[in-house]
């Protein structure tokens, strides 16, 4: 059977963000090519650092910008290797660094933000360091185009669903929060093309096959 756990459902702002990310999820599933009768961990939204599953329980695991937000990368990697059987497949995506957005965050705080290190998973060398001992790996670059009405819509989509953004907003008082809000919207308005805002978000798709134990 297929064991499927989804990351989102209902049409709130985070769910709208999940809808925009759906093409990436579909690409992962296509590359993993699940077969009838396989047990697949798909988009699990629990704690990837301590997965409540048995050793070798799954034939494949998929995550579209999911587990990359966890703090302990090494523990996440170990847990993924543990729950996949030998020959099991892994497919996941991570955003590559966005210099403009990173510069905006730094202009409001120099402190570490929850999830900011997620873009390390967008580097092939980091994925090799974390997973190369247990997985045969290959990589594909991708670009997701976010097409929305305005920079304000980007704000509504990610101000409640992006861990670094949520983390930063918790630290700012009302005045600074409003200032950051305006600067964020202005940044994404620079991607306006006529009546729409079209934002390219570059990501890395990592694919792995579990080595024999």
pTM over 0.95? The answer is no
State the average pLDDT over residues 151-163.
91
Q: What does the pLDDT look like over 1-15, one tens digit per residue?
A: 233 333 333 345 557
d(C-alpha 68, C-alpha 122), whole Å: 9
Contact 209, 87 (CB under 8 A): yes
Which CATH number is associated with domain 13-210? 3.40.50.150
Q: What does the pLDDT look like over 40-89, one tens digit per residue?
A: 999 788 899 999 999 999 999 999 999 999 999 999 999 999 999 999 99
**pLDDT averaged over every residue in the chain:** 90
Q: At what angle do helices 13-20 and 22-32 cross, to 10 degrees?
A: 50
Domain ranges of the chain: 13-210
Q: Measure CA 206 to chain center.
A: 12
% of the chain surpassing 70 pLDDT = 93
């Amino acid at each position: 059977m297929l064991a499927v756990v989804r990351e989102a459902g209902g049409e709130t702002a985070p769910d709208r963000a999940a809808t925009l990310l759906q093409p990436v999820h579909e690409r992962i599933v296509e590359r993993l090519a699940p077969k009838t009768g396989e047990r697949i961990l798909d988009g699990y939204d629990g704690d990837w650092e301590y997965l409540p599953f048995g050793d070798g329980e799954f034939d494949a695991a998929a995550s579209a910008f999911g587990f990359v937000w966890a703090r302990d990368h090494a523990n996440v990697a170990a847990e993924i290797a543990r729950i996949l059987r030998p020959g099991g497949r892994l497919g996941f995506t991570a955003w590559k660094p966005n210099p403009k957005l990173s510069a905006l965050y730094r202009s409001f705080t120099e402190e570490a933000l929850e999830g900011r290190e997620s873009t390390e998973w967008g580097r092939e060398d980091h994925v090799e360091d974390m997973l190369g001992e247990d997985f045969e790996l290959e990589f594909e670059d991708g670009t997701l185009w976010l097409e929305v009405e305005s920079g304000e819509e980007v704000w509504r989509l990610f101000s409640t669903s992006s861990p670094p953004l949520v983390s930063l907003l918790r630290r700012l008082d009302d005045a600074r929060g409003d200032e950051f809000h305006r600067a964020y919207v202005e940044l994404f308005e620079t991607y306006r093309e006529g009546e729409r805002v079209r934002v390219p978000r570059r990501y890395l798709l990592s694919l792995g096959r579990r080595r024999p134990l």
